[in-house]
Amino acid sequence: MPSMRIVLLMVAIICSKKLKLAEGARAFFVFGDSLVDSGNNNYLPTTARADSPPYGIDYPTHRPTGRFSNGFNLPDLISQHIGSEPTLPYLSPQLTGQKLLVGANFASAGIGILNDTGIQFVGILRMFQQFALFQQYQQRLSAEVGAGEAQRIVNGALVLMTLGGNDFVNNYFVTPISARSRQFTVPQFCRYLISEYRKILTRLFELGARRVLVTGTGPLGCVPSQLATRSRNGECVPELQQAAQIFNPLLVQMTRDLNNQFGSDVFVAVNAFQMNMNFINDPQRFGFVTSKIACCGQGRFNGIGLCTPASNLCPNRDVYAFWDPYHPSQRALGFIVRDIFSGTSDLMSPMNLTTIMAMDSNI
């Protein structure tokens, strides 16, 4: 009998350790596009990928990971701030067992709010597919920790949703006259995007998300790819800037409406436009030598085509606000994450992530 008691005690200790791991670190789930894809597209039949040098040159391994960054990406930096391991891409074979308790990244470069966005990239994970994988993840998590504990982990998780930029640059404005631009004026298109985005966020709530950071689009007209193709002297492209400035306030209002509908501050709007414009307008104040020229690329502003082993490559990524023609550098992302955690209500609505973490720790 004493040996039986010892076995039961060991089982109890193992179970309590498992539970403590789930309770100690908050799970983190990521959905969206290339700004937050940590490598899912490496496993997909698509040209939208970052699996060759010089991507990852400043990552700890100095090797490409599938992140569209010279090093860490936005989810990585948020994970570091909340004291968590980085979330693995859901398609990674390493995402098994206890790793499931950390969360998962479902993002896929090239996608948008609309299913016809990014059709040129072929086999990418559109939002309905990302959500199908999230449901599959929850089944796997339930098998690991039990259904009740799995639901608690999902309900208590932090979620990041980054969508919308591709609906403009790789859909509406992808050619001088696109199918969507024939169908809608820019304000009409923005309203249509918001109506579709509302359905996506409502579905995310139905799947158990209770604390979601929703990033607005950045300053689409100021990225090197647009400066290279549409700007005369390096000024931000007005049409794209205006589109972002119509879309983003509508997004904030929509998140407020959903919060009122659900009776809780589920959705937190992140003013990515202003966060980026701060260092784009005054790069020197942030220690950058340029916010117009990409570190990696070719042509005007290094903004033509993709970042490849044959591209121009700057020697010091820390002094460039943009890593490639579309994506901020790791150091620029650090300033965005700082604003996510400590930004005032004009940047984080209704509250910043530090406030959220403090509130949620008391629940």
| Residue positions annotated with a catalytic role | 34, 324, 327
The answer to whether 162 touches 205, Cβ cutoff 8 Å, is: no
Strand partners, 158: 28
For the purposes of burial, counting CB atoms within 10 Å of the CB of 103, is it exposed (0-12), middle (13-18) or buried (19 or more)? buried
Work out the end-to-end distance of the chain between its first and last CA atoms, rounded to an integer number of angstroms.
41
Return d(Cα 71, Cα 63) in angstroms, integer: 9
